[in-house]
Structure 1
């Protein structure tokens, strides 16, 4: 079996045309969501194959995968546009799921957030999508899926795809370049003017929530998050929060126009 890398660190393998992953407390919820999405015609996500000795078996999402630093096809405008459009399709397809289940009775890795407009992917980032050429054609790793407003998911995705990051490995271009990419993502998704006004504030809140989640997991003894804190991963997010606060006016003004690059 081939070990896969990406958003998760260990325990994910490719076996032929399937992916074998550890079962989690929220896996049944994710399986129900994935089946629903496929029923709605959204086939850019994994298909549930079944269970095998305590592991879940999903279909392999075909395509090239990337991580930071963003170089090559993943850094292209075509990838950015197609990613935003795919996120919109995912959100639209998920809306009916909210009416078919009792959300309060379902387990989620991340807490639900009101108003529950869609099922957010929770980590719709360059390392969780698959490309064909320069086009994003698939998305995987739905562990972080949870009910929330559209803007909650959009905010984290724009932060990661622009990207508004200060770490030298994660950076891409100047502030002007980042703003232009954020505007293109918003235009391609169809983000409203009112949501664009709130976008930077939502990014900040989303990152604060992420740091708090990491801290809570570390405090409970999760080895991966304990290691992340020891390595200072949270400090990068805190630096990015400061960056967003300092540039909030410029970013907001820059993404308000609907004119693409």
Structure 2
């Protein structure tokens, strides 16, 4: 049993089998979504336990995530497992009905039938033996086109980064075969092809800049600190890289 819901230094804290995180204005909506997913048989998302005194609790899922994720996704089998899992989660969100007045971190897209994760990079998947087995950290969840998530995911799984960054930051032994990895994720997700996907990646990269700017302007952390530290310049650089190197993924 947990000893209490107290965050260490205000950040993510694990206590026994619970993961404790700061509660946000949209946390109640996210917990409703996670309960819906688990109720319809998708156990590959965290079980929400509750919200208390500004702290949310979720059930811990064993496996590797965060910095430990990179080694699991270097081969195409790992890429495919993530694509298939994202599609399963998307399909299961279609029956979710948020209550009137529900808050989301990201403004919903009118008419969207899917609730996107919003941040499906390798670090937010739980990995075991090279396979993506769960999807964590639903802070950015919001009704939006499913391709928004697919574009974000292939941006990081391909990755749309320089060879130097891919090797030093993402753990690749050499230049990644970006086109093969993009195709693997897309096929596993169930797309009929990759036509137009690079344009969607650029759109999604720009949307990330807008999203972080909006959250920072409303005073939410850690986004406000990211902006002060100059993170938006790094994100703008990624947009430029994608536009200049799209021939590597088309």
Q: TM-score, normalised by structure 1?
A: 0.82
Q: Determine which of 146, 156, 159 is the counterpart of 1:160.
A: 156
Counterpart contact for 2:10–2:22, Cα < 8 Å: no
CA shift in 2, pair 1:39/1:124, >3 Å: same
Give the RMSD, CA atoms, in angstroms: 2.3
> Match of 2:104?
108
Q: Using the alignment, how far apart are the partners of 1:61 and 1:157 within structure 2? A: 21
> Match of 1:120?
116
SS of aligned partner of 1:87: helix
SS of aligned partner of 2:11: coil
Shift of 1:76: 2.6
Task: Output one character per residue of 1:69-127: Cα deviation in whole Å (capped at 9) or x when no partner.
Answer: x7422323222111111001000111111xx335x621100111244131100001111
> Match of 2:76?
77
Counterparts of residues 23-34 of structure 1 (less than 5 Å): 23-34=23-34
Task: Output one character per residue of 1:199-244: Cα deviation in whole Å (capped at 9) or x when no partner.
Answer: 1111111111111222233344445334323433222221221122
Counterpart contact for 1:124–1:157, Cα < 8 Å: yes
1:251 aligns with 2:249: yes
Task: Output one character per residue of 1:16-61: Cα deviation in whole Å (capped at 9) or x when no partner.
Answer: 1111111110011111101100011000111111233331111111
Q: Determine which of 132, 142, 149 is the counterpart of 1:146.
A: 142
Q: Using the alignment, how far apart are the partners of 1:181 and 1:91 within structure 2? A: 20
> Match of 1:56?
56
> Match of 1:15?
15
Structure 2: give runs of 5+ residues left out of the alignment: 3-8
Counterpart contact for 2:47–2:59, Cα < 8 Å: yes
Q: Using the alignment, how far apart are the partners of 2:76 and 2:39 within structure 1? A: 30
Q: Using the alignment, how far apart are the partners of 1:86 and 1:221 within structure 2? A: 33
Counterpart contact for 1:122–1:146, Cα < 8 Å: yes
Q: Using the alignment, how far apart are the partners of 1:247 and 1:25 within structure 2? A: 39
Structure 1: give runs of 5+ residues left out of the alignment: 2-8, 253-261
Q: 19-28 or 51-60: which moved more?
A: 51-60
1:130 aligns with 2:126: yes
SS of aligned partner of 1:197: coil
SS of aligned partner of 1:19: strand
CA shift in 2, pair 1:220/1:58, >3 Å: closer
Q: 127-136 or 225-234: which moved more?
A: 225-234
Shift of 1:247: 3.0
